[in-house]
Structure 1
Amino acid sequence: MELRTLRYFVAVAEELHFGRAATRLHMSQPPLSRAVKQLEAEVGALLFARSPTGVTLTPVGTVLLDEARALLGHADRVRVRVSAAAGASTITIGILDDGTDPGVSRLAAAYRRNHPGIDIRIRETDLSDPTCGLRAGLVDVALTRAPFDETALTVRTLRADPVGALLRADDPLARRDGLRLAELSDRRWFRFPQGTDPVWQSYWNGGRPREGPVVRAVQECLQAVLWNGTVGLAPLGHDLSAELTVVPLTDMPPSRVVAAWNEGDTNPLIRSFIETATTAYRH
């Protein structure tokens, strides 16, 4: 079994869809399907039960997934140790200003455990740069949120979070179980500075231009709502003060927690980070 084929298999097993796995691997679907069929022939059993809507793992596939993850993890650690021995022992990670995400803590613990000899440098950025310095060449990999302009970047989705309207707890709409964006059309919104990635800006403005205070950091968003009664969007499930609340929006697509890196960058430290992040956010 080749490591590349096992990576293909793991991608399909995690996405449970050949099309999504092909997109994640930056390849077309036919060669991916052929590679999996060849792996099934080599194993001598079906790894997936196929249906028009996707695939599910067979019992044999479940066993292979556990073994493949362990083998690929070991291979990544070998690459990292060799790189460290050659002097490439530093990785700079850009993190979006959002210290409340428990996934970051799990990822940090897992990466330290797997790679104790690697020098990890963190660069936290505000909400005006969703690539966390990646486009500027300041970091090797970004742990951030999408959507944003992904041109020339490779992006791995780690988790999808529903979003809602961030409101004062005494706002008349705060008692609602759900809202639609149209119900916020006459309100002032916090917004990001001019020149911010337009895809990112549009998403967090609910798809249209807004008027209101300019913010750069999460705390500025919270304070703008608390002091000025403005509104904005925020992921559900984060801890807030009793004076604030987030009401689910029924017509907003989720925000994705992602890892992003420069397309074509083969740094083994990045690959190891991505695989560790995928595992950490899966639990």
Structure 2
Amino acid sequence: MRDVEVRQIQYFVAVAEELNFTRAAERLAMTQPALSRAVRALEKTVGAVLLSRTPQGVTLTSAGQVMLSEGRSLLDRLDDSLARVRRAAGPSAPLTVTSPGCEAALLDRLVREYNGTGPARPVRAEVGTLGDQVRRLRSGRADLALGWGEPEDPGLTGVVLRYDCPRVLLGAGHRLAERAVLEVADLADEPLVDWSGDEDPLRDPGLWPAGPPGRPGPRVSDGLQMLAVVGLGQAAAVTVASENTRTPPGGTVSRPLRDGPRLPLRLLWSRERGTADVRDFARYAARCLQRGTAQ
């Protein structure tokens, strides 16, 4: 096991939790073929088949279930160790800011622009899921997290960078594609993609006092499936106003949902570790978004 790399364990855990290579690759901000190769290399190193791959999806073998449990434990211990090292390093260690993959481009620009000002403590970016972000903040592996919604953990605090209205992703030939702006009423009879995950910030029923828009459409588990469904005209998608939805891929168009709920885009950090460096980056990010230079 000495030849196993930490990144291989991280990759395997992501696939085992998602049970989907494409979704795991998006979570890790890497390509699906590269992820598949890394997991196969891990299987070769440990001498066991960890995943059963079928046209219907991915399942864990008995060895894979043990690997998932042990892998999570190893990563948790590593997080704790790294957090202790970073605390011991004090202000010499760079700040770490994490974000969901859909806002990776925004975070990357914020980090590059901030570091270009010559701060005493530079910043580096990491990408993860919403659940990953909270765990990293709690353990101290990350100093700040970028994401939507209200913090549920009382140990976290933060600042609102801006409020975003959702956007609607449509096939280029959709009857609503000619509209510059849409309203919730426009979606009354529209099938909308249904996400199988539980981290969609728009899933909260409290955001839709009159009930969610549209009617249930095809169920999808990752961004590629969503784009395929939308591009084929089988459904529309209501999404957070990320960089990806502002500049959608060919065959689709993105329109703002004018009367949709306003979602706060926040930077969060632990109340226990709200240092001056953390607050400096938060203030810089807020100024950038208010000016519109990082959008």
Return the TM-score normalized by structure 2.
Answer: 0.53
Match of 1:280 in 2: 288
TM-superposed CA distance for 1:147, in Å, is 2.0
Instruction: Tell me if the contact between 1:96 and 1:130 (Cα under 8 Å) persists in the aligned partners.
Output: no
Does 2:266 align with 1:258? yes
Q: Displacement of 1:85 after TM fit? A: 7.5
Deviations 1:188-241 (A, max 9, x none): 3234434437x6422799653845323344x55434422463222232882123
Structure 2 residue 94 is matched with structure 1 residue 90: yes
Conserved 8 A contact 2:171-2:253: yes
Paired residues of 1:141 and 1:259 also in contact (CA < 8 A): yes
Residue 245 of structure 1: SS of its match in structure 2? strand
Aligned residues: 196
The residue correspondences of 1:64-75 to structure 2 (distance < 5 A) are none
Amino acid aligned to 1:240: P
Q: Does 1:159 align with 2:167?
A: no
Distance 1:220 1:192 in 2: 10
Q: Which whole-Å CA distance do the structure 2 matches of 1:194 and 1:154 have between them?
A: 25
Counterpart of 2:117 in structure 1 is 113
Q: Secondary structure at the match of 2:254?
A: strand
Q: What SS class does the counterpart of residue 225 from structure 1 fall into?
A: helix
CA deviation map 1:65-96 (0-9, x unaligned): xxxxxxxxxxxxxxxxxx99845523221112
Give me the whole-angstrom Cα distance separating, in 2, the residues matched to 1:85 and 1:125: 24
Corresponding residue SS for 2:191: coil
2:170 match: secondary structure = strand
Q: C-alpha offsets along residues 127-156 of structure 1, whole Å, 9 cap, x if unaligned?
A: x64956556635221122x22444422131
Matching residue's letter, 2:247: D
Q: Unpaired segments of 5 or more residues in structure 1? A: 1-82
Q: 1:159 to 1:264 in 2, by over 3 A?
A: same
Contact 2:196 2:219 in 1 (8 A): no
Identity of aligned residues (%): 18
Q: Are residues 86 and 171 of structure 1, via their aligned partners in 2, closer, same or farther at CA, if it must alter by over 3 Å? A: closer
Q: Which whole-Å CA distance do the structure 2 matches of 1:200 and 1:131 have between them?
A: 18
Query: CA RMSD of the aligned region, Å?
Result: 3.6
1:244-273 Cα deviation digits (max 9, x unpaired): 112332321333322111234333332222
Residues 1:195 and 1:276: Cα distance change in structure 2 (over 3 Å):
same
Q: Which residue of 2 aligns with 1:215?
A: 221
Q: Which residue of 2 aligns with 1:241?
A: 249
- Counterpart in the other structure of 1:32: none
- Corresponding residue for 1:19? none
2:283 is paired with a residue whose SS is helix
8 A Cα contact 1:123 1:132, kept in partner: no
CA-CA distance at 1:170 after TM superposition: 0.3
Pairs within 5 Å for 1:103-182:
104-115=108-119, 118=122, 120-126=123-129, 129=131, 131=133, 133-134=135-136, 137=139, 138-144=141-147, 146-152=148-154, 153-182=156-185
Give the TM-score taking structure 1 as reference length. 0.55
Higher helix proportion (structure 1 or 2): 2
